[in-house]
Structure 1
Amino acid sequence: MAYESLLGPEGRVEFLLGNEAVARGIYEAGVSVAATYPGTPSSEIGDVLYLISEKMGIKFEFSTNEKVALETAAAASTGGLRSFVFMKHVGLNVAMDSFVSLSESGVKGGMVVFSADDPSMHSSQNEQDNRFLGKFAKTIVIEPSDPQELKDFIVKAFDLSEEIGHPVLVRSVTRISHIRAPVKLGVVRERNEWHYRKEKAFVLLPENAYASQLQITERLGKVRSSRYSEMFDRVYGDSSTLIITSGAAYNYVDEALGMLGKKARIIKVGMSFPIDAERVIEEIDKAERVIFIEEGGPFIEEQVLALCALRSIDKRFYGKLNGSIPASYEMDVDREMEFLSKIFGIPFTPRTERMDIIKRKPVLCPGCPHRATYYVTKMALKQRGIKNAIAPTDIGCYTLGYYDPFQLGDFCFSMGSSIGSSSGYSMNAGEKVVSFIGDSTFFHGGISGLINAYHNNHNFLLVIMDNSTTAMTGGQPTPETSPPFKRVDLEGVVRGIGIKNVFTIDPYDLKASLDVFKKALDSKELAVIISK
């Protein structure tokens, strides 16, 4: 069976994808419950667990969205079990309401939240740095720099979480989750026994939440000591130039310095919040200049500069806040060589010229039913003489309808935004509104928007592109998938809201589909077409 190597014995070395190393890490940590909603660049963790979680002794589920996944894991933690929830970076936005509350309540069994960020937006709508969300939510933030550390830091994060009674956010990025490297397997821990008891800390009424504030401060105060930072932080080299870096950026720093023939003292920060202030200040005191290089925003830089300001430490600082280092897009070796050469005052010539290759837009796969759905939509609009329809779309393969030849995509922010925006357009615009959403996205974030549209008498046509899978992230199951799951009837959910104009079509039956689309476009009230 695929991924059997992840069940191997202690001491074996396997060539693992970063996300596969994460799966092995939670196995070694003795995790009992894991949950997710698939999203690149974290999806492969779920693919692994879907196939071998039973052999690992882990109860795993694909949840309907990230908030539900986090709450599933949090409940397991209240009973003393170790639990794990993972998602792509924008998924943490969806889970944020409960994520913020997690630190308020604290945890019993160790609980780790894994965020795979996507600098340069390889498959995302933004490149937010979730370390800032971790700090905002008052969680401990850990940053591995390679697949071996992904596995090892996951295990340590669970130990830390359980000892302190506080959640830990482990932050990866695309280039760490999606690289392969040798990983030495460790010992597999025994899983905790379930021992639940009712506690007021898990009921966040104002009275209980008020009492938890001092406990949060106390727990984070404990973690600020070198005893815990030494679990994750490392210091290398000997130089008057100090580079403070973390995660993926460390790998680029190491290679760039070698290629430039320069040396530096390096603090590789593994626990980036709360930062070990005393160790960092001690190193800064010995340096002549300090360079901050991190993947994402100036997260560590802001914390360190605040500490330096409090202690009136004046050094030559270089980073994103003063423009020495670019603030946008992911790091790479060439970019780091370029700005390090300026700081060191040495000449730099790029290794190669970037080639202008022919650009090719992403396209829907051959045979994809979304092609037929978009085609029949265009035909119906044309036959009804509708020239300026507004077409909100959503997150999924079908977002590619934005491109030629369909050009159906006028608004797309986040999961489910096609429906909420359609309400806004239908209230104000004179043009016909036709919106598009996938079945998995509808279950994830679209249902409440459709209830709102029906309740407030909005008039637009919603097309649910139903291929009964979470296709864009690798074909993971949806609530329509069965067996072994209980199947949710998508059409029944839509009709259950009260919407009368609900149609199900086969988009390859062009004549019948065209008739349905024209009827729906003629409707004077909300209509839904499910294209299967």
Structure 2
Amino acid sequence: STWNMMEGDGKWGIVCNGVSYNYVKDTLEELAVTDQFRVLRLGFSHPQPGDLIKTFLEGCEKVLVVEEGEPYMEEGVRSFAQKAGITIPISGKEDGLFSRLFEYDPAMVKKVIGSYFDLTFASSQPIEVSDLSDAPARPPNLCAGCPHRATYVAVREVFGDDAIYPTDIGCYTLGLLPPLSMGDFLVCMGSSVGTAGGFSRATGKKVIAFLGDSTFFHSALHGLVNAVYNNHNFTLVVLDNLTTAMTGHQPHPGVDLSHLGLSHTKVDIEQVVRGIGVKKVITVNPFKYRKTLEAFREVAEFEGVSVIISREICPLYARGLPGHKKERPFYINQGRCKNHRDCVNKVACPAFYLEDEKVCINENMCVGCAFCAQICPEHAILPVKKEGKS
């Protein structure tokens, strides 16, 4: 594999991967001993490249393996050395030089390399920071332009604190934090729909359960079937951003993969829900705020299981698709703005920031979803014109 690289021709060897490679390179350059080492970086570690490892070992007098976690590479290197009859010292975790626990850092790697290869260097002095104030806390937040935020704002506008909100596992889990505060209960994947009926019967309150499109296929179908069968009374909101965003935009059965030249059959969530027997099913675009409000007001009056599919593509996923058009960012017309801060207090998009006690928009972060413009009571949030602000 081209991801496996061997550098240098020194007598001492270091096998590493991932961020450990950066720590190793920094150490060798800092100590000015690069010419004494050869480095094998394994970027494609399974299956391990046996021939490359044996070639590397044949030119070394001793070897250090630098890897976080379990000694997977180290055991492989030792095994290949034994099979090839190469009898040189190979150390790492098995000898206690490195720990299997926690992350490595440059200072740790430098210390072990210096000790193992008997290199002399001055110890680094920690920077004195006791006189500095702590950095401001920044809680986890949904991305700028995330459609889940728009859905949550609409739900809170309609139901406020009068409903119970079971949530689930996904990006949208972050909605349980203020100011959205859309998450009263979370246990495991699928628990939102699985517990919604129980909450409804036990409390008599309206229950709005949230889960994502991936979670819908993974863990929600049996719970929804059970709810329909037992005549439960709650609304399930499927937050459909057309991808598995939280873990890296993997596809699921509801994703169209034609742009990749694949011929998988897309499974339509709405058809599945109707097939299960749900009578009230509404699909909305959460960035169309008024229509989304109407949909939630409609299910508020409905008795039984209802489903709202809130569908809008994840902006991070969308920008990587063929033919994606970047929308113009927005800015705040300070002449119109009355500093109500509804945009901050209700929407809490990370593209907002304060300057001289006035709310501004970071145009580099704004994806142009236009949702905040619909929230502003003064209509002070406007799209940037192509030639600049006006």
Interval of TM-score (by shorter of Structure 1 and Structure 2): 0.5 to 0.7
Question: Pairwise mapping of residues 122-137 of structure 1 onto structure 2 (< 5 A)?
Answer: none
* Secondary structure at 2:136 match in 1: coil
User: How many Å separate the matches in 1 of 2:267 and 2:5?
Assistant: 47
**2:348 aligned residue:** none
Give 1:318 deviation, angstroms: 2.4
TM-score, normalised to structure 1, is: 0.42
**1:357 aligned residue:** 135
**1:527 aligned residue:** 306
State yes or no: 1:498 paired with 2:280: no
State yes or no: 1:461 paired with 2:235: yes
User: How many Å separate the matches in 1 of 2:30 and 2:111?
Assistant: 11
Give 1:529 deviation, angstroms: 1.6
**2:6 aligned residue:** 234
User: How many Å separate the matches in 2 of 1:278 and 1:466?
Assistant: 45
Give 1:502 deviation, angstroms: 2.1
Structure 1, residues 287-346: CA drift from partner, whole Å, max 9, x if none?
A: 35x3211366432112234567888968462238836256444x6645533543454474
Amino acid at match of 1:302: E
User: How many Å separate the matches in 2 of 1:517 and 1:342?
Assistant: 68
Residues 313 and 437 of structure 1: CA distance in aligned 2, closer, same or farther (over 3 Å) = same
Residues 358 and 338 of structure 1: CA distance in aligned 2, closer, same or farther (over 3 Å) = farther
2:123 is aligned, of 335, 338, 348, to: 348
Give 1:350 deviation, angstroms: 5.8
Contact 2:166–2:195 at 8 Å: present in 1 too?
no
User: How many Å separate the matches in 2 of 1:496 and 1:313?
Assistant: 66
Amino acid at match of 1:234: M
Structure 1, residues 415-454: CA drift from partner, whole Å, max 9, x if none?
A: xx3xx2335545877578643234xxx2x45235343223
Residues 382 and 312 of structure 1: CA distance in aligned 2, closer, same or farther (over 3 Å) = same
**2:297 aligned residue:** 515
Residues 255 and 348 of structure 1: CA distance in aligned 2, closer, same or farther (over 3 Å) = same
2:71 is aligned, of 259, 277, 298, to: 298
Residues 332 and 351 of structure 1: CA distance in aligned 2, closer, same or farther (over 3 Å) = same
Amino acid at match of 1:494: V
Aligned length: 284
TM-score, normalised to structure 2, is: 0.54
**1:254 aligned residue:** 25
State yes or no: 1:322 paired with 2:104: no
Give 1:248 deviation, angstroms: 5.1
Give 1:469 deviation, angstroms: 7.5
Structure 1, residues 233-255: CA drift from partner, whole Å, max 9, x if none?
A: 5363333x432224553343122
* Secondary structure at 1:456 match in 2: helix
**1:20 aligned residue:** none
* Secondary structure at 1:234 match in 2: strand
**1:33 aligned residue:** none
User: How many Å separate the matches in 2 of 1:482 and 1:236?
Assistant: 45
Residues 481 and 503 of structure 1: CA distance in aligned 2, closer, same or farther (over 3 Å) = farther
| Bigger radius of gyration | 2
1:373 is aligned, of 148, 151, 161, to: 151
User: How many Å separate the matches in 2 of 1:353 and 1:259?
Assistant: 21
Structure 1 gap segments, 5+ residues each: 1-141, 145-231
Residues 338 and 381 of structure 1: CA distance in aligned 2, closer, same or farther (over 3 Å) = farther
User: How many Å separate the matches in 2 of 1:499 and 1:529?
Assistant: 11
State yes or no: 1:287 paired with 2:61: yes
Question: Pairwise mapping of residues 343-422 of structure 1 onto structure 2 (< 5 A)?
Answer: 343=116, 344=118, 346-349=121-124, 356-364=134-142, 369-378=147-156, 382=160, 384=162, 386=163, 389=164, 391-396=166-171, 398-409=172-183, 410-411=185-186, 417=189, 420-422=190-192
Contact 1:394–1:436 at 8 Å: present in 2 too?
no
Contact 1:462–1:528 at 8 Å: present in 2 too?
yes
